[in-house]
Chains A and B, each alone.
Chain A
Amino acid sequence: GAVVSQHPSWVICKSGTSVKIECRSLDFQATTMFWYRQFPKQSLMLMATSNEGSKATYEQGVEKDKFLINHASLTLSTLTVTSAHPEDSSFYICSARDTTHGTRQETQYFGPGTRLLVL
């Protein structure tokens, strides 16, 4: 149980294009999902908290117009990197809180990550 998928697993795009990454909770409902960014050999950096049916909450320093988040259902959140530039190249990971099973609500389950390379 508690499986989170991400799609695509990797993407290469040209500078100036937009890229959409999907995060799905496969066997549980997740009213809250999280988007992280990770640079090589560094820990996870929280970018934003995605809430189903409402606006996302962004961390300080994260441009909400650059990183658009949509949490349209209890099992799907999307992150769109708009007008991507080479400095946006990174490993993007989503996670989800399992709000279906009470004993697991305080943890987060992570997706496998999406590697983005902007040329």
Chain B
Amino acid sequence: QKEVEQDPGPLSVPEGAIVSLNCTYSNSAFQYFMWYRQYSRKGPELLMYTYSSGNKEDGRFTAQVDKSSKYISLFIRDSQPSDSATYLCAMKLTGGGNKLTFGTGTQLKVEL
């Protein structure tokens, strides 16, 4: 079993839809959670960063962390074609060195 599980997709939605992207993990010691967006042939771009459980909102993006269920989500409201990319979840232990553990990424396509 992988430490972090993420549905690879592809996920196709119409423009304006609400998108829900999710990751589950097995290591309860993860404390820092991140979402990255990666366009084709580009490096990942940090979208959201949360510590421990709770919600965080930034514009059209909302990140949720449920540590009791070992489940994190990224919601994208009013999705746009420019949101079409691969979304990677990543997580980190507290004080456990510097490594991030990544999900495999979900490919999202927002269609006109």
Kindly provide the distance from the CB of B5 to the nearest chain A CB, expressed in whole angstroms.
12
The total of interchain contacts (Cβ-Cβ below 8 angstroms) comes to: 53
Interface set, chain B 74-98, CB cutoff 8 A to A: 88, 90, 92, 97-98
How does the 8 Å CB contact mask read for A77-90 relative to B, with 1 for contact and 0 for none?
00000000000000
Number of interface residues of A (CB under 8 A): 25
Residues of B within 8 A of A93 (CB): 43-44
Please state if A115 and B105 are interface contacts (CB–CB under 8 Å): no
Please state if A110 and B98 are interface contacts (CB–CB under 8 Å): no
Known: A6-B43, A93-B44, A112-B43. A106 touches B49 (CB 8 A): yes
Q: Taking each of B43, B46, B88, B99, which has the highest tally of chain A beta carbons within 10 Å of its own beta carbon?
A: B43
Kindly provide the distance from the CB of B101 to the nearest chain A CB, expressed in whole angstroms.
9
Please state if B88 and A44 are interface contacts (CB–CB under 8 Å): yes
Known: A6-B43, A107-B46, A110-B44. A43 touches B34 (CB 8 A): no
In the assembled complex, A32 has its CB within 8 A of some CB on chain B: yes
Q: What residue in chain A is nearest B98 (Cβ atoms)?
A: A32
Please state if A111 and B49 are interface contacts (CB–CB under 8 Å): no
Residues of A within 8 A of B102 (CB): 43-44
Please state if B99 and A49 are interface contacts (CB–CB under 8 Å): yes
Please state if A115 and B44 are interface contacts (CB–CB under 8 Å): no
- A sample of 29 cross-chain residue pairs with beta-carbon separation below 8 angstroms, ordered by A number, consists of A4-B43, A32-B98, A34-B98, A41-B107, A42-B104, A43-B88, A43-B102, A43-B103, A43-B104, A43-B105, A44-B44, A44-B88, A44-B102, A46-B99, A46-B100, A91-B41, A106-B32, A106-B49, A106-B51, A107-B49, A108-B46, A108-B98, A108-B100, A109-B46, A110-B36, A110-B46, A111-B43, A112-B42, A112-B43
